Amino acid sequence: MTDDLYPGASELEGRVIREIVAVAMDAPAKAKSGHSGTAMALAPLGVMLWGRVMRHDPTDPNWSDRDRFIMSCGHACILQYGLAHEFGYDLSVEDLKEFRQAHSKTPGHPERGDTPTVEVTTGPLGQGIANGVGMALAERILRADYGEELVSHRTWVIAGDGCLEEGVSHEAASLAGSLGLDRLTIFYDDNHITIDGPTELALHDDPAERFAAYGWHVVVVGERANDLDVLEDATRAAIAETNRPTIVIIRSHIAFPSPTMMDTKEAHGTPFSADAITTVKKILGVPDRAFVSDPEIPGELIQSLHARREDRVAWGARVTAAGARGVQLLEQLDTNGVARITTKAQAFAPGSMVATRKAMQRAMDVYAPQTPGLTAGSADLTDNTGVILPGAQAQNALVPGGRQIHYGIRELAMTAILVGQAHHGGLRPAGSTFFVFSDYARPAVRLAALSHAGALLVYTHDSVGVGQDGPTHEPVEHLMALRAMPNLHVVRPSDANETLDLVEEFLSAKVPHTTALVLTRQDVRVFSEDEAAASAKGARRGGYVVRENDVAVFTLVSTGSEVSLCLQAADELAAKGIVTRVVALPCWKCFDAQPLEYRDQVLRRSIPSVSLEAGATLGWANYVDDSLGINSFGMSAPGDVVFDYFKIVPASVVAHVERVLSERK
């Protein structure tokens, strides 16, 4: 037995490390796909962290005051799967054998909901760092609300060179340092290898200086990636730091201890050959068979965590002793702080002109105090987007319970941080920016949708109505781009009162959908009483008839501010003796989920139809016969001029209806 491979490891720890290193080769080899090298090199770190430091209990995996663990370098997920198996979580050897196979508990990158211990869906590099910032932020806020005796845990993130190269890590680390976000530790695996070759091909940063400049506590371990005692000392130093986050920089050697694969680019993503695996297993002193697992180890490791199990039991006793406060905490954790609405927001007057973004602020004024889990903020546009929480203080190190979060000009990190908050439990986060800047955030929006994070993404200035800011700031293709994303509910309310209703729906849903709420900059006419009644009845279903007529010969369909334009067109057509009906489709995903009978009743495809929307027309063919929109970039001019130029006006609808009806005669 080569005990000198892993200095400081106990006999049990050495056995565990060796099994994980072996499975890190076996699983990708069987799958003929996967990443062995990083998992092999970081096995000592994982065993040290999970065995000596991390607060967790495999007998109660969802204990809410557990530490959170994130593999930001998600390609190395076989490490996490190996750790979960060895430490007695519900992950068997058979599950490990199904690595990267269909419907397995061991997918190719960590997916929340598939695998025990996976807190967030990671894979695209760097986002796990921002998710970790969100989780640490959630812990801080809940700890401030309920006290350290009920909430007190840490967030641990393993990241690699790719994570630090991606821009999202800069955004998130800068914000975390600015907030003085303690109880967050990143282990940076500085292995100097990327897919193309040595990191020096494109990277000469000094991460220690960079993170120190961000305001982080920096611990440099150096060439001690295999020494468990050194790794533990560095981790304890992170715990001792109470005023800022910590990064522990570890110089590892990818694929250690393979004499042929170590420090090679092939070790990153190429499954090892049978000969290479045999050689490593000989060095490790383990049987040269695939997926060898000592069935005694999980029980021994669970027993070794006895003290942490006692922590969990003591925590449960403290929650019980806290009485109503403890009950409230458990309920908030279970529902992500669902709203309990007893006071409704005052409706806007029919016929008044109100931008839907202004309705967002009224919703916050009334519903935020009734939503215990709500956090809100923006990427430097708080006043513009209407997400100011009444009476809330700004989140910072001196105000750890602050619910108003200034994310700075960091749309991507903001969104990934929202995901971390939502998946932590206890919070219902909202973040906001201009709609055109959803481009910056899109990678994190995608993971939010993929992992079913209950986050509210508030996007204002939703169309060419932005006007004089010009085409750089006028979203045209964005509605369709986000509508194409599975699981994401893209919601574009028809007027201010509908906005109030749909915000209330999100806040009061026990399990909210990841929602992009798309709001206008320009004023929009508030519905009449009859129109408002139709909205109240159907908006939450994603589509409804705003104005019905049994003898209608045409259906006008639209979303957002263009619903009012279609209503005007309907009036103009009525004056010419042409009877039409008007339909609003504020959320396509919601509407598509309705029964076919309801959808047929709303759309009435037996008569001709046309849509009007100030954006790309792609996708409208599913709902209408023809579509009027904008399939080019915008222009710089006052908003009403831009609408006129692109013919997003009632006259366009009138002319289209007249032409189609004339052609059908």
**DSSP assignment string, 83-139:** HHHHTT-S--HHHHHTTT-TT-SS-SS--TTTSTT--S---STTHHHHHHHHHHHHH
DSSP class of residue 435 equals G
Residues of the chain with pLDDT under 70: 1-3
Same domain, 217 and 282: yes
Same domain, 512 and 649: no
Same domain, 513 and 613: no
Are the C-beta atoms of residues 299 and 121 closer than 8 Å to each other? Answer: no
Q: What is the pLDDT of residue 4?
A: 85
Are the C-beta atoms of residues 217 and 7 closer than 8 Å to each other? Answer: no
Domain count, the chain: 3
CATH of the domain at 601: 3.40.50.920
Same domain, 483 and 513: yes
| C-alpha span between 186 and 69 (Å, rounded) | 10
Same domain, 416 and 494: yes
Domain end point (choices 274, 308, 342) = 308
What's the token pair of residue 559?
A: 């979303």
Rg, the chain, Cα only: 28
Same domain, 291 and 394: no
Q: Is 207 left (phi over 0), alpha (psi -120 to 50) or beta?
A: alpha
| C-alpha span between 291 and 85 (Å, rounded) | 12
Domain end point (choices 251, 285, 308) = 308
Q: Does the predicted TM-score (pTM) go above 0.85?
A: yes
Same domain, 161 and 260: yes
Choose among 110, 123, 117, 106: nearest CA to 55: 117
CATH of the domain at 226: 3.40.50.970
Q: Is residue 622 part of a domain?
A: yes
Q: Is residue 147 part of a domain?
A: yes
Q: Is residue 321 part of a domain?
A: no
Same domain, 548 and 520: no
Q: Is residue 469 part of a domain?
A: yes
Q: What is the pLDDT of residue 3?
A: 61
Burial of 575 (0-12, 13-18, 19+ CB in 10 A): exposed
Q: What is the pLDDT of residue 2?
A: 42
Residue tagged 């990427």 (tokens): 379
Q: Is residue 108 part of a domain?
A: yes
Domain that holds residue 650: 540-663
List the beta bridge partners of residue 517. 458, 491
Are the C-beta atoms of residues 535 and 495 closer than 8 Å to each other? Answer: yes
Q: Is residue 504 part of a domain?
A: yes
Q: What is the pLDDT of residue 1?
A: 40
| C-alpha span between 76 and 130 (Å, rounded) | 18
- Other CB atoms closer than 10 Å to residue 273's CB: what's the count? 13
Q: Is residue 338 part of a domain?
A: no
| C-alpha span between 516 and 492 (Å, rounded) | 8
Domain end point (choices 495, 525, 555) = 525
Same domain, 546 and 520: no
What's the token pair of residue 300?
A: 């021994």
Catalytic residues, by residue number, are 411
Q: Is residue 157 part of a domain?
A: yes
Same domain, 553 and 496: no
Same domain, 584 and 635: yes
Same domain, 383 and 268: no
Which contiguous run of DSSP H or E holds residue 384?
helix 382-385
